[in-house]
């Protein structure tokens, strides 16, 4: 590849390829050969330290930490020769508290000298012209953004004011920006010249032909500058600094420093300095007990050392008064983040070093500890382990899904939309974990791993209010016909029903009180899904997913699933200690009797079982259904249900008459409840 010096950003020469001296040894890294291999130090500047956005601020901190000596000299004022005919002003003190300016007449602009260009290039800045380069240099050297205007283009006072609806301007980056009344603009009598503290305008910018230049050094409000940058999605070196807060003590010195450099590099004749508005007051002093360093950070630092560290960082300290251990600390103008004792502790602790903290023994829990989890969390933990023990793999999937999916699973309301989603596939809080797991199961199948069993114990979101987030355990089973030398049946709804009941039992849910109903939400397959209810409240749903839903998700049918709504389970009763109720150990042998009933085909087996169980609550301890028969020996629309009833005698052995009486109660209860008849 052939490149010019300009393309490599090593030079401004774009006429031909970049030529190297013949004496250079082949194989030498270019940076080394050209003497450009400066050390690169990456510094993470946190939002509270805009003073580190200039080299001088970093140097000050390094020196305070004992690394080198801080030698930055004070900026000496340059006397003005005449009052400036070009005025500056601020009409929006809330956005631009102070606006300092100076006119320099008769400058000669052109490329800046090599040393300046090299410095700018080494930090990734493109040299433009001496006047512009000087402002960029001071921005990075002192954290002081400046702007220069070509006075020939100005008409009337240059002032900061709020923007007006309908105004726009062409910025130095070549883009046109529409201005709003929440933005601070710099304007003259004729037009908007730029956005204050954000970006200058093309029209009034300095060029090679500029003869008279106006320097702007202002104080723009951090919040307004920040908002303007966000509104326009525009971050510039100036905007970044003003949004974090520049040194209010360097507004006028900034002009002086720029004047000196312009006079040095471009010549010219400076006016007197103009200052519109008011320079923001210094940050308020903080009364501080030096012992606070020890009581907050744990590091024992002598009061004299505390004062020395603060002094090195630019703070002024003085005794509060006679008899007081406390000192009064005046933060420098570039440290508006320091407002209280904790901030001063941090200053001292970080310079002293956190490694000076004493080593202490870790604490131990005192006395009795409540279980380190809520009821819901404990249930979730138990449920996870029970579900995994049944062969399901625990997955963790996104809390968001697509709105389309959400709508299919009973969610997708406006309230649940993410305003700035990472993609349209993830733009809505999920009303169910099912879609994510169904899709994942299919993806696993596509990879050749059929028979995927996945579950997730996680939140679903029904509303944005507290309590709108619910804890669930949701599982899917993409059951495929088992191939085994001992023929095993195809897993179906009753396999997931077993699984959901086992998990509920493991959690400690009142499984015996659950009732199964067939009314389920629309994304479950009608007739092949059921809800487990406590009273009217569904605590779990199990069965097959509706084929229509699966098709919409591009998932092959059938898929079995269950969903446990952990928060719907009743809270455990307030305990009287850990003592369990006494065991009722009955010595009399239980006995069983079988019954078969002919009922309508639509009759729920649970109704027969429940009626039998309720027939004699004292005596009947269990009912289990062991046969369902439909077929030729049965009339059309009828089926036979066979149950085994367990009788548990309590205080005496049952006589034949007792058993007869109980049997009669079972028969009549079932007949009454279901309209069925006893099969002979």
Q: CA separation (Å) from 119 to 122, 138, 239? A: 5, 12, 21
Taking the complex as a whole, how short is the minimal distance between the CB of residue 605 and another protein, in angstroms? 26
Q: Which is nearer to another protein, 211 or 388 (CB)?
A: 388
Cα separation, 118 vs 134, whole angstroms: 13
489 near another protein, rule: CB under 8 A: no
The binder of another protein chosen from 358, 535, 577, 631 (CB under 8 A): 358
Could you say whether residue 397 binds another protein (CB under 8 A)? yes
> How many residues line the site for another protein (CB under 8 A)?
96
Q: Which range touches another protein (CB under 8 A), out of 144-152, 327-335, 373-381, 566-574? A: 373-381
- At 47, list the tokens: 């939002």
571 interacts with another protein by CB under 8 A:
no
Which residues, 431 to 450, sit near another protein by CB under 8 A?
436-437, 440, 443-444, 447, 449
The number of residues making up the chain comes to 680
Q: Does 453 engage in binding with another protein (CB under 8 A)?
A: yes
Q: Taking the CB of residue 285, how many other CB atoms lie within 10 A of it?
A: 15
Nearest to 634 by CA among 601, 656, 585: 601
In angstroms, give the least distance from the CB of 69 to another protein: 21
CB of 384 to another protein, least distance (A): 6
| Contacts (CB under 8 A) with another protein, residues 42-61 | 46-49
Which of 29-36's residues contact partners 24+ apart within 8 Å by CB, and which partners? 34/10, 36/10, 36/122
Cis peptide before 558 (omega within 30 of 0): yes
| Residue choice 31, 373, 588, 661 for contact with another protein (CB under 8 A) | 373
User: Under the criterion CB under 8 A, does residue 464 sit at the interface with another protein?
Assistant: yes
Does residue 391 touch another protein according to CB under 8 A?
Answer: yes
Residue corresponding to tokens 């089973």: 477
Q: Are strands 400-401 and 428-429 parallel, antiparallel or unpaired?
A: antiparallel
Q: How far apart are the first and last CA of the chain?
A: 97
The Cα–Cα gap between 680 and 666 comes to 15
3-state secondary structure (DSSP) of residue 181: coil
Q: Where are the alpha helices (DSSP H) in 267-371?
A: 292-297, 303-312, 341-352
Residue with tokens 């709508």: 407
Residues 599-628 touching another protein, rule: CB under 8 A, are none
370 binds another protein (CB under 8 A): yes
554 belongs to the binding site for another protein (CB under 8 A): no
Q: Which of residues 216-255 bind another protein (CB under 8 A)?
A: 222-223, 226-227, 230, 243-244
Q: Which stretch binds another protein (CB under 8 A): 89-97, 288-296, 560-568, 671-679?
A: 288-296
C-alpha distances (whole Å) from 203 to each of 157, 169, 173, 195, 509 are 16, 9, 12, 13, 75
Q: Does 418 contact another protein by CB under 8 A?
A: yes
Out of 59, 211, 252, 299, the only residue in the binding site for another protein (CB under 8 A) is 299
CB 281 within 8 A of CB 324: no
Smallest distance from another protein to CB 418, Å: 5
Could you say whether residue 385 binds another protein (CB under 8 A)?
yes
For residue 569, state whether it binds another protein (rule: CB under 8 A).
no
Of 307 and 384, the one with the shorter C-beta distance to another protein is 384
Binds another protein by CB under 8 A, chosen from 34, 55, 59, 388: 388
Q: How far apart are CA 546 and CA 525, in angstroms?
A: 4
Q: Which of 112, 136, 387, 674 binds another protein (CB under 8 A)?
A: 387
Among 217, 219, 220, 218, residue whose Cα is nearest residue 262: 217
Instruction: Kindly state whether residue 483 participates in binding another protein, applying the rule CB under 8 A.
Output: no
**Residues 15, 22, 165, 466: which binds another protein (CB under 8 A)?**
466
Region of 76-84, 99-107, 397-405, 590-598 interacting with another protein (CB under 8 A): 397-405
Minimum distance between the CB of residue 374 and another protein, rounded to whole angstroms? 6
Minimum CB distance to another protein, residue 178 (Å): 20
Task: Please report the beta strands in 462-607, taking only residues with DSSP state E, as ranges in sequence order.
Answer: 469-477, 515-517, 524-534, 537-545, 560-565, 591-600
DSSP 17: B
Q: Which of 23, 176, 360, 512 binds another protein (CB under 8 A)?
A: 360
């Amino acid at each position: 590849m052939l490149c010019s010096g300009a393309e490599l950003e090593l030079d401004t020469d774009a006429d031909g390829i970049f030529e190297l001296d013949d004496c250079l040894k082949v194989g030498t890294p270019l940076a080394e050969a050209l003497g450009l291999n400066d050390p690169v130090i990456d510094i993470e500047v946190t939002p509270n330290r805009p003073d580190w956005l200039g080299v001088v601020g970093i140097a000050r901190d390094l020196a305070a930490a004992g690394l080198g000596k801080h030698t930055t000299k004070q900026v000496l004022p340059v006397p003005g020769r005449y009052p400036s005919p070009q005025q500056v002003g601020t009409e929006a003190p809330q956005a631009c508290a102070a606006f300092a300016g100076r006119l320099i007449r008769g400058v000669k602009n052109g490329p800046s000298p090599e040393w300046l260009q090299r410095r700018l290039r080494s930090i990734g800045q493109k040299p433009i012209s001496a006047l512009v380069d000087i402002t960029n240099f001071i921005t990075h050297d002192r954290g002081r953004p400046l702007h220069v205007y070509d006075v020939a283009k100005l008409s009337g006072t240059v002032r900061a004011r709020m923007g007006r609806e309908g105004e726009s301007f062409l910025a130095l980056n070549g883009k046109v920006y529409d201005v709003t009344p929440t933005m601070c603009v710099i304007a003259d009598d004729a037009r908007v010249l730029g956005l204050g503290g954000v970006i200058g305008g093309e029209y009034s910018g300095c060029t090679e032909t500029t003869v008279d230049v106006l320097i702007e050094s202002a104080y723009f409000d951090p919040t307004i500058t920040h908002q303007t940058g966000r509104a326009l999605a525009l971050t510039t070196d100036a905007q970044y600094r003003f949004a974090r807060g520049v040194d209010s003590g360097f507004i006028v010195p900034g002009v002086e420093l720029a004047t000196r450099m312009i006079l040095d590099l471009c010549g010219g004749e400076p006016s007197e300095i103009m200052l519109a508005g008011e320079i923001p007051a210094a940050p308020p002093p903080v009364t501080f007990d030096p012992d606070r360093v020890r009581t907050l950070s744990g590091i024992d630092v002598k009061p004299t050392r505390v004062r020395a560290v603060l002094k090195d960082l630019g703070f002024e300290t003085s005794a509060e008064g006679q008899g007081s251990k406390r000192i009064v600390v005046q933060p420098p103008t570039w440290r508006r983040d320091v407002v209280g004792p904790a901030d001063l502790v941090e200053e001292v602790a970080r310079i002293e070093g956190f490694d000076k903290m004493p080593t202490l023994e870790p604490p131990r829990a005192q006395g009795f500890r409540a279980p380190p989890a809520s009821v819901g969390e404990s249930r979730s933990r138990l449920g996870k382990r029970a579900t995994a023990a049944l062969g399901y793999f625990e997955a963790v999937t996104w809390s968001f899904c697509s709105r389309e999916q959400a709508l299919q699973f009973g969610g997708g309301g406006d309230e649940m939309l993410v305003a700035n989603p990472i993609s349209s596939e993830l733009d809505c809080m999920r009303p169910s974990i099912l879609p994510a797991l169904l899709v994942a199961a299919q993806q696993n199948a596509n990879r050749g791993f059929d028979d995927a069993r996945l579950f997730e114990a996680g939140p679903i979101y029904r509303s944005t209010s507290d309590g709108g987030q619910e804890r669930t355990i949701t599982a899917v089973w993409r059951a495929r016909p088992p191939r085994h030398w001992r023929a095993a049946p195809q897993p179906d709804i009753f396999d997931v029903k077993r699984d959901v009941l086992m998990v509920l039992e493991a959690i400690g849910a009142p499984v015996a009180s659950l009732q199964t109903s067939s009314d389920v939400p629309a994304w479950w397959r009608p007739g092949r899904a059921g809800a487990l209810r406590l009273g009217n409240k569904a605590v779990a749903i199990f069965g097959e997913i509706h084929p229509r839903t699966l098709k919409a998700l591009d998932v092959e049918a059938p898929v079995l699933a269950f969903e446990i709504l952990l928060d719907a389970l009743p809270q455990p009763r307030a305990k009287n200690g850990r003592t369990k109720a006494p065991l009722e150990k009955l010595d009399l042998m239980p006995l069983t009797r079988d019954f078969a009933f002919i009922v309508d085909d639509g009759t729920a087996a649970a109704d027969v079982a429940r009626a039998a169980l309720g027939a004699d609550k004292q005596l009947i301890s269990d009912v289990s259904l062991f046969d369902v028969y439909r077929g030729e020996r049965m009339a059309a629309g009828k089926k036979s249900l066979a149950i085994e009833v367990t009788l548990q005698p309590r205080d005496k052995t049952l006589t034949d008459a007792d058993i007869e009486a109980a049997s009669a109660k079972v028969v009549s209860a079932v007949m009454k409840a279901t309209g069925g008849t006893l099969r002979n």
